[in-house]
Amino acid sequence: QITLKESGPTSVKPSQTLTLTCIFSGFSLSTSGVGVGWIRQPPGKALEWLALIYWNDDKRYSPSLKSRLTITKDTSKNQVVLTMTNMDPVDTATYYCAHYYHYDSSGYYLGGIIDYWGQGTLVTVSS
């Protein structure tokens, strides 16, 4: 059974750096084709893709936020960390991590698949 859970501060001040941790179980981030993504959702607004880290440590970032984001993994601890610098009130959102994969059990490429999500953590940016 795959589970993910986000943790981190519930509030940060403008200009500070946000660090969020995703702790997962039920899969290994050393398995080919597997990744962990971060997605956010401002209150009452749509989902926004932030970043993705693959099993081979390859990383992908949203172009609009790339300069502010860093994603890393610790495979031995089953953890993925997202840092976002220079936080602003518009970054107030619920932040989710999610399980990603792109191969089926036969090794067939299926494109990007997001199936399991964490419960999300609300981060408020305010002075």
Partner 1 sequence: QTVVTQEPSLTVSPGGTVTLTCASSTGAVTSGYYANWFQQKPGQAPRALIYSTTNKHSWTPARFSGSLLGGKAALTLSGVQPEDEADYYCLLFYGNGQLGVFGTGTKVTVL
Which residues are at the interface with partner 1 (CB under 8 A)? 37, 39, 46-49, 52, 60, 62-64, 96, 102, 110-120
**Least Å distance between CB 25 and partner 1?**
16
- Smallest distance from partner 1 to CB 48, Å: 6
Which residue, 3 or 79, is less far from partner 1 as judged by CB? 3
Closer CB to partner 1, residue 13 or residue 104? 104
Residue whose CB is less far from partner 1, 16 or 114: 114
SS3 per residue for the chain: CCEEEEECCCEECCCCCEEEEEEEECCCCCCCCEEEEEEEECCCCCCEEEEEEECCCCEEECCCCHHHEEEEEEHHHCEEEEEECCCCHHHCEEEEEEEEEEECCCCCEEEEEEEEECCCEEEEECC
